[in-house]
Amino acid sequence: MNIGEAARRSGLPAKTIRHYEDLGLVAPARAPNGYRDYAERDVHILRFLQRSVSLGFSVDETRRLLALYAPDARRDEARRVAQRRASEIDRKILELHTLRRALAVLMDETEAAAPRGWPVLDEVPNEGARMPRPAF
């Protein structure tokens, strides 16, 4: 199939598909006329790439995961990559919960009276120091 059909079936723009090809993440066959000739497996890989990037995996992590599709691939490596990503997600969730609590405090304080501090900024890590309130 041509790149337009691969784009339609994968949900990715042709430009993104070409970018993934330039990165070596997908390697379609070439027809005698030199055009890309995508197979069903290529479309499957493109969908996988789209999903892994949308989940926040880096290009290098995605490349490692993709390499694990090979029949002789080590599944323990895939598990380690996924576990690292899961740990990063857990850390971000904790940070978001902390920020959410700080925003709730800010909303409560703005309803009652003038804010006493900047709880949202106070939650931003700054080598253990609290950020001073700007004077404006």
Domain parsing of the chain, residue ranges: 1-73, 86-136
Q: Is 7 exposed, middle or buried (0-12, 13-18, 19+ CB in 10 A)?
A: buried
pLDDT of residue 86: 86
pLDDT of residue 134: 45
Q: What is the pLDDT of residues 63-122, one digit of tens each?
A: 888 877 766 667 777 778 778 888 988 999 999 999 998 888 888 776 665 555 555 555
- The Cβ of residue 76 has, within 10 Å, a number of other Cβ atoms equal to 9
Q: What is the pLDDT of residues 12-66, one digit of tens each?
A: 999 999 999 999 889 999 989 988 999 999 999 999 999 888 888 888 888 888 8
pLDDT of residue 121: 59
φ and ψ of 118, to 5 deg: -120, 75
pTM: 0.58
CATH number of 1-73: 1.10.1660.10
User: What is the enclosing helix (H) or strand (E) of 130?
Assistant: none
d(CA 136, CA 134): 6
Q: Is 86 exposed, middle or buried (0-12, 13-18, 19+ CB in 10 A)?
A: exposed
